[in-house]
Amino acid sequence: MRLLAPRHCDDADTDDRNDHDRECPRDEAVELLPMKDRTGYHRSGHWAENPVDDGPDLEDAPHRGISPHSSSPATSTATTNHPRRPSRHPSSSAGSTYSKSSGKRRTTTAQSAADALTDPTKRVREKISVLAVIVHLCKGNIGPGAMSLPNGFSKTGIYAAPLYFMLVALVSTYNMDLLLYCKRIVSPTRNMSFGDVAGKILGHRGKVLIDVFLVGTQLGICCVYFTFVATNIHVVLPEKLQSVIHERQLILAIFPIILMLSWIRTLNRITPFSSLANVAVFLGISIVFYYSIDYANNPTKPRLEPVHVDYRQFPEFYGTAVYSFEGIGLILPIQNEMRQPELFPRVLAMCMLAILVLFVFIGEVPTIAFGRITNGSMTAVLHEYCEGWLVTMANILLAFACLLSFPIQFYPAVDVLEKTLNKRGTLRRPETMEASDALRRQSLRSLESAVQQRRASATTAAISKSLASSTVGHRDAVVSSASQQRPQLPVSSADPSARLPHWLESLVCSMSQYECNRTIFRSMLCTGLMVIAICIPDVGLLISLFGAVGSSMLAIIIPPVMYIVLHQGELSIGSRILHLGIIVFGVLGMIAGTVQAMAQVISSFTSAP
């Protein structure tokens, strides 16, 4: 008698799967072998009545030091009454077994190389460590927004700006923790994006709203990176070249480098770039601090006294302050890629506290030293007051850091867009990884077959020509020579001579139709960002505009809205007032900041020559 039980997928099983992993089929049936003792509890199928110990599992024997063929008095009864069962892991298949003691899948020799690549134990190596998380958080928040803080501090006032900035920073950090809390309540173990959490709490429209603002904000940050890099490169050029080469032309010059960086697929591969960017950023900031303190003690040029308080600039500074904490879109993607996600809240709190202190010093020290700062890039301002190779080095380092940081900010936006396009079938993603691997192997076999045919036809033609041109007396010798050459033909794909060159094989295996479509889509998106950056080359205006619109919605408004909806009727009066106050603060800042930033953008177009 054979019993059939439906195979199911648990939410916990999806933790170690990304978007390219195969999904467990819902309707597939697996066989459950019969048991002599019907009162036993079979953990693969839930049809038994009384749970009893069914003895050691033969599949786990090698991990327990038990030989599968041994029969000790303690285990002989269990192993004879209970025949070998199929793997208890829901996603296990032929060619692999699951170890209960280690919690990992063991691949057999019959398993293909493609299945090994998609094995969860292989993907563990792709997870990032705590140190890598700190690197990503620092680089995700320290960027052009930090270098534009002196401009915002000098406009708002050296007294009012620090207090206002700390208020925005504390609200942003608190909302990051709210986002983690909502995700933990909705699904503690499943990997989810910002939009997924909003979809569970606010419904489908909430998910769409979050995805739209997340994509818009992250792509806006990427636009700023184009302009920021071009601005810092332009100021280090000789004066003759500065009058000939415009910043827009430099944006076109750096476009090929940014385009190639946009093709990077995973955060694990971005980590080296992020580490180099962090080193460059901190060196650049150190140079800014050094020259600011030196100039404050020994000024060489007259300076305009900084403003103490200017409430009219609060709306614009709000956008700059919110934009400075540009990493809320990276919070959940980084936690999903983390090897120990339970440590992420503490790591986030410590990093954000350190970043807050650093940002206050970045905004306040140059403002006190140089007075009113009109440029959106602090490193570009140094050339107006200071000279020396260190000033040039600071600009180059900051430009280099932003260049390497582009894929970090590009990752959340393109991740959401690719998921949406995959659901609609636009990118033509294979249904399973097996189908993708089959397509790659088929392409590889086709190329190998073509190589075989060309080699065989060339050799046959050479032999025929030799036979036709030879005399009758030498025909036997030619035939004998041909018979010696024939076994060397690549008649089998197993023949090493019939295989393709390694570089061509790697290219075919890595560039399937789906991967080619992804690369083309990323290239088109990156090209569009370059066009926008060319149209609005002012770094300060871009930061204020994107910060007021996108960052305000994501970092200030949405997290408390999700928290209130998640705990309807359970919040105290104080908690409700607190979160409603944060929402009102974000809405007012978004409206005022957007209006003022748009007015300045329009003014820049009308006043341009």
- pLDDT over threshold 70, residue 510: no
DSSP β-ladder status, 3-6 and 105-107: unpaired
Q: Greater confidence, 33 or 481?
A: 481
Q: Please report the pLDDT score of residue 151 as a whole number.
A: 82
**Banded pLDDT at 470 (limits 50, 70, 90):** low
**Banded pLDDT at 459 (limits 50, 70, 90):** confident
3-state secondary structure of 441: helix
- pLDDT over threshold 80, residue 440: no
Dist CA 234 CA 157 (whole Å): 29
- Per-residue b or e along 397-423, where b marks 16 or more CB atoms closer than 10 Å to that residue's CB: bbbbbbbbbbbbbbbbbbbbbbbebbe
Q: Please report the pLDDT score of residue 239 as a whole number.
A: 81
- pLDDT over threshold 70, residue 39: no
Q: Please report the pLDDT score of residue 78 as a whole number.
A: 40
Q: What percent of the chain has a predicted confidence (pLDDT) above 90?
A: 9
The answer to whether 597 touches 323, Cβ cutoff 8 Å, is: no
Mean per-residue pLDDT for 136-148? 77
Tokens of 174: 């608190």
**Banded pLDDT at 559 (limits 50, 70, 90):** very high
- pLDDT over threshold 70, residue 563: yes
Please state which of the ranges 83-87, 302-306, 332-336, 514-518 shows the lowest mean pLDDT. Answer: 83-87
Q: Indicate the average pLDDT of the chain.
A: 71
CB atoms within 10 A of CB 124: 11
Tens digits of residue pLDDT in 318-377: 877 887 776 777 788 888 888 888 888 899 999 999 999 999 998 888 888 888 777 667
Q: Please report the pLDDT score of residue 383 as a whole number.
A: 76
Please state which of the ranges 146-150, 393-397, 460-464, 588-592 shows the lowest mean pLDDT. Answer: 460-464
Q: At what angle do helices 539-546 and 314-324 cross, to 10 degrees?
A: 80
- pLDDT over threshold 90, residue 174: yes
Dist CA 83 CA 241 (whole Å): 81
User: How many residues belong to the chain?
Assistant: 609
**Banded pLDDT at 191 (limits 50, 70, 90):** confident
Dist CA 342 CA 188 (whole Å): 10
Mean per-residue pLDDT for 443-449? 68
Q: Please report the pLDDT score of residue 551 as a whole number.
A: 79
Q: Please report the pLDDT score of residue 431 as a whole number.
A: 52
Q: Greater confidence, 52 or 191?
A: 191
Tens digits of residue pLDDT in 78-107: 434 444 444 444 444 433 444 444 444 444
- pLDDT over threshold 90, residue 578: yes
- pLDDT over threshold 70, residue 11: no
- pLDDT over threshold 80, residue 134: yes
Number of helices (H), then strands (E), in the chain: 26, 4
Q: Please report the pLDDT score of residue 581 as a whole number.
A: 94
- pLDDT over threshold 80, residue 41: no
Annotated domain spans of the chain: 126-430+514-607
Residue with tokens 């103490």: 308
Tens digits of residue pLDDT in 241-279: 888 888 888 889 999 999 988 888 776 777 777 778 778
**Banded pLDDT at 511 (limits 50, 70, 90):** low
Q: Please report the pLDDT score of residue 209 as a whole number.
A: 87
Q: What percent of the chain has a predicted confidence (pLDDT) above 70?
A: 64
Q: Please report the pLDDT score of residue 36 as a whole number.
A: 39
Q: Please report the pLDDT score of residue 53 as a whole number.
A: 41
- pLDDT over threshold 70, residue 444: no
Q: Please report the pLDDT score of residue 582 as a whole number.
A: 94
Long-range residue pairs from 205-209, CB within 8 A, at least 24 positions apart, any chain: 206/562, 209/558
Residue whose C-alpha is closest to residue 137's, from 41, 267, 8: 267
In eight-state DSSP terms, residue 375 is: S
Q: Greater confidence, 132 or 2?
A: 132
Dist CA 183 CA 160 (whole Å): 35
Q: Greater confidence, 547 or 233?
A: 233
- pLDDT over threshold 80, residue 55: no
340: left (phi over 0), alpha (psi -120 to 50) or beta: beta
Mean per-residue pLDDT for 417-425? 83
Q: Greater confidence, 3 or 233?
A: 233
User: What are 107's strand-pairing partners?
Assistant: 96
The answer to whether 298 touches 386, Cβ cutoff 8 Å, is: no
> What's the CATH number of domain 126-430+514-607, 1.20.1740.10, 3.40.50.1820, 1.10.287.70, 3.30.565.10?
1.20.1740.10
Mean per-residue pLDDT for 134-160? 81
Q: Please report the pLDDT score of residue 474 as a whole number.
A: 52
